[in-house]
Amino acid sequence: MNSLVSAADVEAAVRAGSATATETNRLVNWAVVPKGSTAKLKFRGQTVTGFRGWAGGKVAHFMQFETDVTAPPSGMMPAIPIIVIFKNDKDPSEGFAADGTGQTHNVVALLPSDPGYTSFWDHSVGKLAGFDGVKDLPTAEANVAAKAPVIVNCPVVAP
């Protein structure tokens, strides 16, 4: 038990005939977290559970989110658009812009209940001057100032 602790160990076991490997186009999103982490919110209505596995030859702790994403032909994790508006109109150093109730006008293209949803977001930055006019995805897309060169893993969760 726990004798395969690296990709090299798995590959060697397959070559030796003591393990089999099956190629798949299934992608999973198991985020590495500190030991003892718990999730207070739910993903797709399900409790987010923790698991242990191996990373870098050491036991690693994971939280499970997506397990049913199919890789596109490129093999890259698919990402969905999100448009965010920052307080300082340029970067996250001061946080997101919010109205008097604390509500941001950040918009993600898909929610967990939508076909094609993934927790990986392809960021664009909206203009602070257009904050009040952002009500939905089309108005957010019309307010984009720049594409951010980053993909972020950020599952949409709920109580």
Residues 109 and 135 occupy one common structural domain: yes
| Overall domain count for the chain | 2
Residue 75 falls inside a structural domain: no
Percentage of the chain exceeding pLDDT 70: 97
pLDDT at 1 over 70: no
Average pLDDT over residues 134-156: 92
Range of the domain at 127: 80-153
Bin 78: left if φ > 0, else alpha if -120 < ψ < 50, else beta: beta
- The pLDDT of residue 101: 95
Residue 35 falls inside a structural domain: yes
- Alpha-carbon distance of 93 to 98, in angstroms, equals 15
Beta bridge mates, 42 = 47, 158
- The pLDDT of residue 144: 97
The count of C-alpha atoms lying within 13 angstroms of the C-alpha of 133, restricted to the half-sphere facing its C-beta, is 12
Residue owning tokens 């590959």: 11
Q: Which residue has the higher pLDDT, 156 or 20?
A: 20
Average pLDDT over residues 123-132: 96
